[in-house]
Amino acid sequence: MSEWKDVASILEFKPGTRVLVKTGHFDAIVFNLDGVFYAIEDACTHDGESFADGDLDGKEIICPRHGAQFDIITGKVTVAPALEDIQIFPTRVKDGVVQIKI
């Protein structure tokens, strides 16, 4: 069963930043991209690397280990060596708090 999990206050979650979320089952990472929030699983489908230190090029996150890239809006792989898309999660803002649906 899915549920909404708090990520951060919208006042503290500034554009261009990211927040790591531990769910107990997996880790996710939420991005504020020009005021819109996008969430992906924080494990590269190539070999499980975290995106915490990956550069964001527009809407594409670059895996810091081998350079695979993923569209954080759709989850699609855009650059190898990863071959599988990454899981994305819905986000919302409720009562001033950014939330992720897990």
Smallest separation, CB 42 to ligand FES (Å): 11
Question: Is residue 76 involved in binding ligand FES (CB under 6 A)?
Answer: no
Task: State the minimum distance, in angstroms, from the CB of residue 58 to ligand FES.
Answer: 18
Give the nearest distance from C-beta 35 to ligand FES in angstroms. 28
Task: Note whether 86 binds ligand FES by CB under 6 A.
Answer: no
- Residue 55's SS3 state is coil
Give CA–CA dist 85/83, Å, rounded: 7
* CA 52 to each of CA 2, 37, 94: distance values in angstroms, whole numbers, following the listed order: 24, 16, 25
